[in-house]
Amino acid sequence: MVKNYKTDLLIAVFVLFLAALCFLIGILCNKSNSDTVEIYVDNALWGTYPFGEAQLIKIDKAGKHICTVCINEEGVYMLESCCKNQICVSSGLLTREKARSSDIASWIVCLPNAVTVHLALGDMQ
Amino acid sequence: MKKSFSRAAHLGILTALALVLSYVEHLLPLPVPVPGIKLGLSNTVLLYALFMLSKKEAVLLMLLKVLIQGFVFTSFSSMLYSLSGGALSIFAMILARHFKGISIVGVSISGAFMHILGQCTVALFFITYKAVLSYLPFLLISSCITGAVTGIIAKTVLHHLSGRNSK
Ligand SMILES: [Zn+2]
């Protein structure tokens, strides 16, 4: 077995470098003008909704109800979903503060249903 | 004939072990804010197969694990994710093993990295690239850590096993 970990470290550094690169691209990609809730279904934009205006958005696929997204004054959350793992429902309320804290926190993802909810914050000073 | 029976039994035990390890992980999620991050403990079994048995057995083990897990515990779409992740990961680990300077820890990190890449590639077909891009940095950093941890575990296990064999 190899005792020198130089190459192992090099691999780790390469992966971390890629992570940093994706992080930067992500920041550049996710800019918008005002606070909006974007819902994507199957890789396509399903709709854009103003943040803070209370409403229920029911999502269906081929006539079959999949899930319900709820927007209220404080944030947006997955009210219910037919998916098996319920990760989307348990991820809870997505607030402005949460979305501001990091790029990754600005998403609610339901992989089984291919539904993603994004809180896009307007340019902050 | 006898040898092939013992190989089949060996492979069966390893498959069961890999399945149990991923089930235990499913029951005890890691305390991280991002859902879906796993340690990938079953990768230690895969590493064992790759280093102690053969390439063929490691590939077979990965396929068996993905298929059984897909049919018994999860859905078709999640099977697609784990298949692409598993296939790329085992390919990377076989490749990395051939390089002289890379230890089992480096092999494990390469595997974890390609596992993430494979899954994210499938994700691109289903969800918006913006979401994938937001998750990727976190997933890559975690793959570095989990890959190193499972690699070190596998290294320790192999060390003890080879010690016992030589005695
Ligand atoms: Zn869900």
Complete DSSP assignment for B146-161: HHHHHHHHHHHHHHHH
Distance CA B21, CA B48 (A): 14
Q: Does B76 touch chain A (CB under 8 A)?
A: no
Whether residues A24 and A52 share a domain: the answer is no
Domain of B17, in residue numbers? 2-166
Whether residues A4 and A47 share a domain: the answer is no
Domain of A5, in residue numbers? 1-30
State the CATH number of the domain containing residue A103: 2.60.320.10
Complete DSSP assignment for B43-60: HHHHHHHHHHS-HHHHHH
Whether residues A75 and A15 share a domain: the answer is no
Whether residues A38 and A98 share a domain: the answer is yes
**Residue of B55, B67, B35, B47 whose CA lies nearest to B147:** B47
pLDDT more than 70, % of chain A: 91
Number of domains forming the structure of chain A: 2
- Partner residue facing A22 (CB), from B136, B143, B159: B136
**Across chain A, what does the average pLDDT equal?**
88
Distance from CA of A54 to the nearest CA of B (A): 24
Q: With beta carbons under 8 A apart, name residues in chain A contacting B113.
A: 11, 15
Whether residues A45 and A21 share a domain: the answer is no
Number of domains forming the structure of chain B: 1
The secondary element (H helix, E strand) that includes residue A67 is: strand A64-71
Ligand 1 centroid to residue A85 C-alpha, Å? 6
Backbone torsion region of residue B10, taken as left when φ is above 0, otherwise alpha when ψ lies between -120 and 50, otherwise beta: alpha
Whether residues A2 and A49 share a domain: the answer is no
- Chain-centre distance of CA A67, in angstroms? 16
pLDDT at B148: 95
Distance CA A59, CA A119 (A): 17
What is the pTM assigned to this prediction? 0.86
Whether residues A120 and A98 share a domain: the answer is yes
State the CATH number of the domain containing residue B43: 1.10.1760.20
pLDDT higher than 80, residue B34? no
Whether residues A7 and A48 share a domain: the answer is no
Stretch among A43-57, B69-83, B104-118 having the lowest mean pLDDT:
B69-83
